[in-house]
Chain A
Amino acid sequence: MHGTLNLIRRYILCLPALIILIFFFAAPIFQIFIMSFHPYKGPMEVGEKFTFENYISIFTRSYLVNCIIRTIRIAACSSIVAVIMAYPLSYYIAKATSSIRRKILLFTIFFCFFNSTIGRGLSWYLILGSKGIINLILTSLGMQEIRILHSELAVEIGLVYVILPFAVLSIVPSIQKIDPSLRESALILGANEFKTFIHVTLPLSLPGISAALSTCLAITLAAFVIPMILGGGLVDMLSNIIYIRMKAVLNFALGGALSFVLLAASLITMYVIILPLRKVKWT
């Protein structure tokens, strides 16, 4: 009797979360998923029959296919760059003992983390624009203006700035978890600091690196604000395309199909990049 009562009590506490998630998250998403298999009939409406035509039309339109590839490309590049940039910072935070500098770094990273995406996009707009800092420096040195804004590079720069804190925060715990005596063992056995890093620290922080990549990819694949501000319509990622289709035309069928392609692309990319790292399970 008591056992069942306890079980019920546990499930009851989960209930609010469950109801909210099922009703307002799973159900709507599922609804859209179903809709993606129906033909477009008008704004917010779909026809009756079951069809693959939405998906087919996505993959036959080169514009959309290019967009998908571009999204994956930008996401993968930004994520990898961000993780590489983040690692030394994570190492510093995890290792450096006292040090005011460490506190300052941590504070700065969190500051960036809590800063709005729009704000971060706008900041880089100011730097990369034709009247931005970079071009100012170049022209004052007598060189030619370069167009960085409204290019893939600009979007990637902006995305790296957005996901860097996520990467740092994902990697730090995995470095901190490494038992200090492992490093000391390696040192005594004849490995200098560099070799110790390569053979001990780096492999053992791999779980953190894969978590960082996974988080960064999830965020960049769904990027919306940054490509909008820094891409200026020339570099649209999948989220932007979906937005345009939906807000303007309310073609839920196609929008739904595009969303699920995006979701599938997210999952596939994440597994392709993460899988070789995930292979390692050391506990």
Chain B
Amino acid sequence: MTHELVAHFKLAKKVRNIFLELYVLLAIFYIVFPILLLIVTSFDSRGYIGDILSIIPSLRWYNEFIGSSFFINGILTSFFVGITATVLSLIVGLSFAYVIVRYDFPGKSILIETSMAPAVVPGVTLGFALLYFFARLGSHLTILNIIIAHLIITLPYALRTLIATLEGFDISIEEAALVLGATRLRAFLEVTLPNIKSGIIAAAIFSFAISLDDVAVTAFLTDVYTYTFPVALLTTFRRAISPIAAVGCSVLIVIALCMVCAIDKSYGLERFVGIYARRS
């Protein structure tokens, strides 16, 4: 080991680090650039998707978008469905997750696999299965059908987050409450719940995001009067893709940004990465 070799090792290390940093920089650019492009396109005044360099900035399509009852209805429906499905998902998921994390009982692993299954089944399959099911059931309340469908598809994701949250929760403080005389329910409400608040918020946001994004399942269950926002957007793609689609997507981008910030503030992005650690 001579001085040259030592210097060589130091250089190799520096080069390796630089390559990694460069790759990361490229990756960030790769992720962000398409998003920026989309946002810029939404400000195009032309009526067609043209080349980006000859863009004439205007709020034309934003005005059209806001004035379009078609899209506004879609957004309102999406939010309504999303929030309702999320709340239901949280309630169902929390009780389920609580039992999963605390206890062992026969059939537990089968139960867990089944609850994660909706994420593995292709959306279209679930979509028309539910279409047929609701038709046979005679349920013509479209909005209810959509909410139930969204409950099914968001449940695995809410569950994953809630299970990770509860596993990270120190059970001994709950047990301390029990020893001090609280019933299980009170211990849960007054000790556990406040401490897993951030996890619940993260699960809620995650569920909402899944619900908001879904097309495959929802496409089968919508009708002329009741439709969600992404389905509405997709139908405009049938004809030529116009910048109004870009406007719609830009709205979704802003919502996505808010969601990421919300999760970071409440649960922390670093911790959120860990929820995917479960399955392997």
Contact = CB atoms under 8 A, between A and B. Distances in A.
Direct contact between A and B judged by beta carbons closer than 8 A: yes
Residue in A10, A25, A111, A238 with the greatest tally of chain B CB atoms within 10 Å: A25
B264 A136 contact: no
B98 interface: yes
Size class of A's contact patch?
A: 35 or more
Contact of B280 (A136, A172, A208, A246): A208
A7 B216 contact: no
Nearest to A117: B213
Contact of B132 (A25, A31, A218): A31
B179 interface: no
Nearest to A6: B103
A262 B125 contact: yes
A118 B233 contact: yes
A228 interface: yes
A239 B111 contact: no
A259 B125 contact: yes
B253 to A, nearest CB: 6
A28 B124 contact: no
B276 interface: yes
Nearest to A93: B273
A76 interface: no
Mostly, the A contact residues are helix
Interface stretch (A55-63, A178-186, A219-227): A219-227
Contacts of B136: 31
Given A222-B122, A222-B123, A122 B38 contact: yes
B151 A20 contact: yes
A16 B118 CA distance: 16
A260 B244 CA distance: 37
Interface stretch (B57-65, B167-175, B255-263): B255-263
A129 B213 CA distance: 24
Interface in A191-228: 192-194, 207-208, 210-211, 214-215, 218, 221-222, 224-225, 228
B170 to A, nearest CB: 20
A183 to B, nearest CB: 14
Contacts of B27: 85, 89, 105, 108
A127 to B, nearest CB: 6
Contacts of A161: 31, 34
A111 B126 contact: no
B211 to A, nearest CB: 11
A146 interface: no
B259 A246 contact: no
Contact of A123 (B37, B105, B126): B37
6 closest Cβ pairs, A-B complex? A123-B34, A222-B122, A173-B277, A119-B249, A259-B125, A28-B129
Interface of B: 9, 13, 16, 20-21, 23-24, 27-28, 31-32, 34-35, 37-38, 41, 49-53, 91-93, 95-96, 98-99, 103, 105, 111, 114-115, 117-133, 135-136, 148-149, 151-152, 155, 209, 212-213, 215-216, 219-220, 230, 233-234, 237, 241, 245-246, 248-250, 252-253, 256-257, 259-260, 263-264, 269-270, 272-274, 276-277, 279-280
Given A44-B135, A132-B51, A255-B128, 11 more contacts: A14-B99, A16-B96, A21-B115, A104-B28, A107-B269, A118-B252, A119-B249, A126-B52, A129-B49, A210-B280, A243-B216
